[in-house]
Structure 1
Amino acid sequence: MLCLFYPESARFNLKLDNNPDTLLVLVPFKTQDILWIKTTVKNEKQVKNGFWKKPPLIWDVKPQNIRIQNPYFVNFAATRLLGFNHTTKRNNVAPTTGLIAISFALHFCDQVNIAGFGYPAWSNNTHPIHYYSSETIRTMSEAEHNISKEHLAIRTLLHHTVIHNLTLF
């Protein structure tokens, strides 16, 4: 199993995620993300500033299960899938980890199937955005994501059968 995460999302089921067959892949968006994984794994003084949500200070995972994703895949998702360029302002331009996972899979897999993609309407502040957490669409508006562009990008990939959907979108 492969699980992509960033420091602010690093809250897992430790029994499952310490499975030797599970790879935890850090998606670094900023320098603090790399510093956080280093200090957390080595039990050093924690990096606490520069996060939109407090990451765990103690994270009991096996270091041998952790990988750091090449920033190329974030850039590919932002520029090729979402159509942002390097001169775009930083507002609402960070791809979600879901789209980054699709980007990653497109480079390594012969066939890419997705499940559970789609978001509730912006007006629905109570419906969770993920099956595994209680965070709502308001969380997405606080992050730098452009859900409308992501929705269109995923629809385009589905339409051209680049990826296949296993659930309703």
Structure 2
Amino acid sequence: MFNKYKLLIKNFNLTYEEYKKIENEKKCYENPQSALISALTLLQKNRGWIDDNTISSVAKIFDVSISDVECLATFYSQIFRKAVGKHIIRYCDSIVCFITGYKDIENEIIRQLNIRPGQTTFDNRFTLLPVCCLGNCNKAPTIMIDDNVYNNLNFKDIKKLLEDYD
């Protein structure tokens, strides 16, 4: 049985564990294609981002077109189609965060890391991404580093905050 999976996995460019997790996720839905986002998220967690080969593999597993998977992957801002840093910094650039001073925070992050929004530091430590909302308008300005949310920030907080991430 394992040899059957080994050949299958080779064709899909996935590990056995990745393939099994995706197959298990598909069972959770009446329509297995509903698990596409879950599959992309799972693979990204293991690989850091979703490359073209991964898009192709997911399309094969779900028996959908590559363009269908590509459309889904590029629609969701949490799916990365290019390599990103070890830590993802998302900062809210909504009107509420704008009013409460996100520009000072954005400028300090840019100064500290020497990168622009959408870029990754030379050492691959951080990627900086603007997002339209982090859902913390009552605690603005807000940034998120990986899964950690930081509220009511000012630019003086940034240096110490970045030092906490290796």
**Could you state the TM-score of these two structures normalised by the residue count of structure 1?**
0.26
* TM-score, structure 2 as length reference: 0.27
More helix by share: 2
